[in-house]
Amino acid sequence: MSQSGIVVKELRTYYGEIKAVDGISFEVQEGSIFGMLGPNGAGKTTTIETIVGLTERKSGQISVFGYDPVDEIDEIKKIVGVQLQSPSLFPRLTVKETIELFASFYPEPKEVSEVIEKLGLEKKANTRVSDLSGGQRHRLAVGLAMVSNGKALFFDEPTTGLDPQARRQLWDVILSLKKEGKTIFLTTHYMDEAEKLCDELLIIDHGKIIASGSPASLIKESFQKTAVEFLDPDFSEEEKRELLELNLAERVNYETGKNRIILYTNEVSDTIKGLIDFASSKGKKLKDVMVRNPTLEDVFIKLTGRGIRE
Ligand SMILES: Nc1ncnc2c1ncn2[C@@H]1O[C@H](COP(=O)(O)OP(=O)(O)O)[C@@H](O)[C@H]1O
Ligand SMILES: [Mg+2]
């Protein structure tokens, strides 16, 4: 049976009046990848900082392989590797020197050369931190978590701002760390990343859990339906109301910002036919119509009434 590597109960971390983390509980099984998904300001970074002892909690319980980050911070430091969103780095050190420095903090670090190679930073090994691009600096930050060789690794939005190829490369790195038996906690606001990497997932918003489970079960529980998605052909507010009243689908999402309308339905042909008739009765043409399975993004919209990147 798998064991809990990280246990968090009723955790609250406030900054004055701001309830950044507001009563969340979860368990991360040893050797699994656990993800926290939520929009900006949801409380993801604060959760990580509290678990690893960088920020003090207001209340609740935390155990990282049996250790408490307040009372046993020295023990936690030995077994935890952390990648922060904006780490403090020494600008004049090179990539290699930076990783070597961090390696020296840990009892059994990984080989520095292995970390550099896995992150594809070979050509930058002797480049000063101040001369790195944003993406390279980001990969270096991931390397600082890796080199710890800790049992528990924390990645705070590891792929934000990376190009698609670098993102996929980093996914492979994280999956290979899982193969080594690491217990991994990551935050993200990318749905595809959460689906691809995470065994278990929490969706959080405003410091509270709004859903939890495996990515597949979250999608399945929320949606037995098919999504019919199309570009908004400039329907007026009145027309959108009419569309809703036609009962073509159980739910209609008007995604702000994206200009797309999504209908969730069990009767795909009826919905499409009804939609075409409706649009032509209004003298409007449908464009870019997609019929697809629901994704985590749909789950998020359903739970919060808005898209994750708004
Ligand atoms: N050091 C801080 N002082 C005051 N408020 C903070 C601080 N760090 C974060 N916050 C606030 O706490 C909330 C959660 O922030 P954060 O944990 O950074 O969210 P996320 O990582 O999901 O974007 C936000 O409202 C943010 O403005
Ligand atoms: Mg954050």
- The model's pLDDT over 195-216, given as tens digits with 9 standing for 90+, comes to 999 999 999 999 999 999 999 8
Helix, strand, coil proportions of the chain in percent (round to 5)?
35, 30, 35
CA of 43 to the centre of ligand 1 (A): 6
pTM: 0.86
Is there a domain that residue 308 lies in? Answer: no
Q: Report the percent of the chain where pLDDT is more than 90.
A: 64
Lowest mean pLDDT among 69-78, 243-252, 286-295: 243-252
Mean pLDDT along residues 174-191: 94
The secondary structure element, H or E, covering residue 43 is none
Which residue has the least CA distance to atom 13 on ligand 1? Answer: 20
Question: Which ligand number lies closest to the CA of residue 18?
Answer: 1
Is there a domain that residue 301 lies in? Answer: no
Q: Give Cβ neighbours of residue 184 (< 8 Å, ≥ 6 apart).
A: 32, 33, 34, 152, 153, 154, 155, 174, 177, 178
- Top pLDDT among 42 and 263 is at 42
pLDDT at 56: 96
Residues spanned by the domain of 262: 224-293
Q: For 15, left (φ over 0), alpha (ψ -120 to 50), or beta? A: beta
- In ligand 1, the atom with minimum distance to the C-alpha of 189 is 22
User: Are 168 and 30 part of one and the same domain?
Assistant: yes
Contact at 8 Å (CB) between 161 and 138?
Answer: yes
Mean pLDDT along residues 233-258: 76
Q: At residue 96, does pLDDT exceed 90?
A: yes
User: Are 201 and 255 part of one and the same domain?
Assistant: no
Angle between the 296-304 and 215-222 helix axes, to the nearest 10 degrees? 60
Question: Which ligand number lies closest to the CA of residue 37?
Answer: 1
CA of 41 to the centre of ligand 1 (A): 5
CA of 232 to the centre of ligand 2 (A): 32
Is there a domain that residue 32 lies in? Answer: yes
Mean pLDDT along residues 242-267: 75
Q: At residue 270, does pLDDT exceed 70?
A: yes
Q: Which of 12-21, 80-89, 130-139 has the highest mean pLDDT?
A: 12-21
Mean pLDDT along residues 34-53: 95
Give the Cβ contact number of residue 221 at 10 Å.
11
**Average of per-residue pLDDT values in the chain:** 90
Total domain count for the chain? 2
User: Are 228 and 213 part of one and the same domain?
Assistant: no
User: Are 120 and 241 part of one and the same domain?
Assistant: no
CA of 247 to the centre of ligand 2 (A): 39
Question: Which ligand number lies closest to the CA of residue 204?
Answer: 1
Amino acid residing at 166: A
Which residue, of 176, 194, 218, is where some domain finishes?
218
Mean pLDDT along residues 164-174: 91
User: Are 209 and 163 part of one and the same domain?
Assistant: yes
13, 46, 185: which to mutate for ligand 1, most atoms within 8 A of CB? 46
Which residue has the least CA distance to atom 5 on ligand 1? Answer: 15
Whole-angstrom distance, CA of residue 56 vs CA of residue 59? 9
The CATH number of residue 267's host domain is: 3.30.70.980
User: Are 70 and 205 part of one and the same domain?
Assistant: yes
Contact at 8 Å (CB) between 209 and 256?
Answer: no
User: Are 254 and 120 part of one and the same domain?
Assistant: no
Mean pLDDT along residues 36-52: 94
Mean pLDDT along residues 17-46: 96
Q: Report the percent of the chain where pLDDT is more than 70.
A: 94
Which residue has the least CA distance to atom 6 on ligand 1? Answer: 15
The CATH number of residue 64's host domain is: 3.40.50.300
User: Are 76 and 185 part of one and the same domain?
Assistant: yes
pLDDT at 146: 96
Q: At residue 125, does pLDDT exceed 80?
A: yes
Query: Which residue blocks in 161-207 are alpha helix, DSSP H?
Result: 164-179, 191-197
Is there a domain that residue 80 lies in? Answer: yes
19, 45, 205: which to mutate for ligand 1, most atoms within 8 A of CB? 45
User: Are 129 and 266 part of one and the same domain?
Assistant: no
CA of 261 to the centre of ligand 2 (A): 29
CA of 83 to the centre of ligand 2 (A): 11
- Top pLDDT among 147 and 258 is at 147
Is there a domain that residue 27 lies in? Answer: yes
Task: Using pLDDT thresholds of 50, 70 and 90, give the confidence band for residue 90.
Answer: very high
User: Are 172 and 286 part of one and the same domain?
Assistant: no
Is there a domain that residue 109 lies in? Answer: yes
- Top pLDDT among 307 and 162 is at 162
Which residue, of 218, 246, 280, is where some domain finishes?
218
- In ligand 1, the atom with minimum distance to the C-alpha of 42 is 22
Is there a domain that residue 188 lies in? Answer: yes
Q: At residue 85, does pLDDT exceed 80?
A: yes
Task: Using pLDDT thresholds of 50, 70 and 90, give the confidence band for residue 306.
Answer: low
Q: At residue 116, does pLDDT exceed 70?
A: yes
User: Are 98 and 55 part of one and the same domain?
Assistant: yes
User: Are 9 and 147 part of one and the same domain?
Assistant: yes
Question: Which ligand number lies closest to the CA of residue 36?
Answer: 1
- Top pLDDT among 151 and 257 is at 151
Of residues 73, 58, 74, 55, the one with CA closest to residue 10: 58
pLDDT at 245: 79
Question: Which ligand number lies closest to the CA of residue 202?
Answer: 1
- In ligand 1, the atom with minimum distance to the C-alpha of 45 is 21
Q: Which of 27-31, 167-171, 242-246 has the highest mean pLDDT?
A: 27-31
Q: Give Cβ neighbours of residue 58 (< 8 Å, ≥ 6 apart).
A: 12, 13, 14
Is there a domain that residue 299 lies in? Answer: no
CA of 84 to the centre of ligand 2 (A): 9
CA of 13 to the centre of ligand 1 (A): 10
Q: At residue 73, does pLDDT exceed 70?
A: yes
Pocket of ligand 1 (CB under 6 A): 15, 18, 20, 38, 40-46
pLDDT at 310: 46
